[in-house]
Amino acid sequence: MKPLLKRLPGLIVFLMLTTLSCAGRDLPSGVGVVTSQSEGLAGYISFGHEPLPAAGGYNAGMGFYAAVWPLVDEPLADFQIGLPGSWIQPDNSDNEDKPLAPKGTEARKWKERGPTWSSVFQTIEGGLGYWAGNHFRYGLPKFSMNATPQCYDYEVGSPGWSFFYSNEALPDDRLGIAQLSNRLLIPPDGLPFQGKPNGEFLGYTWMALPFTGPTSGDPPTGDQSWTCFLSAANFKGPIAYYIPETWSKIGKLFNYPFVYGRGLDARPGVMGGGAMEINTVPRFDTKDAKGRTYTKLPKLQWPVDAQGRAFLVQDVTYYSKSALYNAFKAWRDGGPACSGRIERKGAFKPKLYAESTDYSQAGKKITGVDGVFETRVFKGNVWGLQWSKNPLVAKGLFPQYYKEVGEKRMAVSAAAVPAETKLLDLEFKRAEKGAPYTSPNGGAWAKPGPKMGPFTARLVDGSVVTYSWYRFVDQPSFQQYHWSSEKKAKLQALVEKLHASWASDRDYMAPPTRGKLVSLDPALLVTPPTGLKVGYVPIVTRQAMDQ
């Protein structure tokens, strides 16, 4: 956070503008009166791709490499934009008219999503970005594993917490992620990065793996554990997975058997393309001497080369079960060792294409941005943005200033903003550090409880993470299920084999075809204590501001 004295100029400017507006006898009412608003910018910057081969079965996994860079110079309050990411949903294309969202769920209220509500039934939609709910902003984006298991009634973002919506851990019966890595901490506020990356890539892939077999109980549950693999300069491998019951229990909870077998635990994944989702951006509004509205956005920037190109996503790949699922299942059942490497024989790289873009501000269409940059697929099947020569802004920057023209907002240069608006000198509110994330002292967190801890780690975002070492099957997420001793023992043995042979310094995803890998914050990397080298995982129990 900036010291108070460094933030005073923005406050002084605001007070000066207010005073001038009162004293300016010759100016129309409202001139120079600045208001701070939300809804500064909304829209998607996206890509699509050619259809996947119908007979390939490329629905058991999907991944790519995405660029990491500081979209904003400093941490901003009330700001949310996702860097390029994707959405995974269960394939329910065979259902054309029956609701997947049971009555009583949040998504069922969204009538425009009917009649099936398939797009808001269940999703995995995490990735890189800035979120309005982040507690510990530090200028750079973070990585998180967000998912919506129950029609947006709640979200899961880490092994203990929701997607930044609460300081307290999720209730025991809503925990959904099983921590898998014994080498990486997964804080509730997301994974931060080392240094000042400016276009380096983070690879991440979601693979449906059979850690446990299907069950025919109530509810019936499939064998797909959607597992997140990362590829960074200082860490590679799987970090966690969604427990299959996370998806299947909605049918029993709402007494709605129609959705049995229709969740991400059992259905193939549908993943489509990807996008930057522009969600929450602050703005300043004011008027000039003629009563025309002018607005200002925060400075938004992209990493561009000398030709004005920003390379954002590469190596988009879809996977069939032959890429890893089959070998992993055979290993689980006593067959030959599985390396964990995602094999190319089960991979398909579709040709990408750029989607058209539309932007709005407070519900009004924005014009002029299309003359600044365009989405493009570059040589090598790399998706990104191409800046053109334009007097509005320098290459790599999104237009900051807008003039209201009828029912639209037109992008203008800084030089075209009238002096009496005083917009050029205004600074946006910086984000403050949030409240601690806390976990309960009882329930699933205490029984069976950790084997060793607590320990602490200080992260680059200014927070301190507290964690303890749990036996894998004793971690809190599993305690809501009454599994047999045999089932737990088999899963524990599998994870012990994985810990013993899947190192974090070798490739699981194929390396990127261009560019360099970003590094995670080294403070996230841990070494298991003596005696806990395999079969134990570091579960974060608290994240708070460093005192």
Give the SS3 label for residue 445: helix
| Contact (CB, 8 A) for 209 and 224 | yes
335 Cβ partners below 8 Å, 6+ apart?
none
**pLDDT confidence tier of residue 9, bands split at 50, 70 and 90:** very low
Summarised one tens digit per residue, pLDDT across range 68-109 is 999 999 999 999 999 999 999 999 999 999 999 999 999 999
Residue whose structure tokens are 């004793």: 474
**pLDDT confidence tier of residue 22, bands split at 50, 70 and 90:** very low
Instruction: Pick left, alpha or beta for residue 156 (phi over 0 → left; psi -120 to 50 → alpha; otherwise beta).
Output: beta
**Between 17 and 294, residue with greater pLDDT:** 294
Residue extents of the structural domains in the chain: 4-38+286-313+360-425, 42-277+314-349+436-545
Residue 350 burial (CB count, 10 A): 17
Please give the pLDDT value at position 12.
34
Structure tokens at 400: 């900051």
Beta strands in 69-181 (DSSP E): 80-82, 89-90, 123-124, 127-130, 142-144, 147-148, 177-179
**pLDDT confidence tier of residue 17, bands split at 50, 70 and 90:** very low
Nearest to 124 by CA among 177, 87, 69: 87
**pLDDT confidence tier of residue 13, bands split at 50, 70 and 90:** very low
**pLDDT confidence tier of residue 48, bands split at 50, 70 and 90:** very high
Rounded percentage of the chain residues whose pLDDT exceeds 70: 95
Please give the pLDDT value at position 21.
40
Instruction: Measure the CA dihedral 390/77/457/518, to 10°.
Output: -10
Summarised one tens digit per residue, pLDDT across range 190-247 is 999 999 999 999 999 999 999 999 999 899 999 999 999 999 999 999 999 999 999 9
Strand partners, 408: 365, 405
**pLDDT confidence tier of residue 28, bands split at 50, 70 and 90:** low
Please give the pLDDT value at position 235.
98
Query: Over 90: is that where the pLDDT of 335 sits?
Result: yes
Structure tokens at 412: 């203008």
Edge to edge, the sheet with strand 463-471 lists: 437-438, 536-545, 463-471, 452-458
The CA distances from residue 63 to 85, 203, 283, in Å, are 10, 7, 34
Instruction: Mean pLDDT check: name the lowest of 34-38, 59-63, 65-69, 535-539.
Output: 34-38
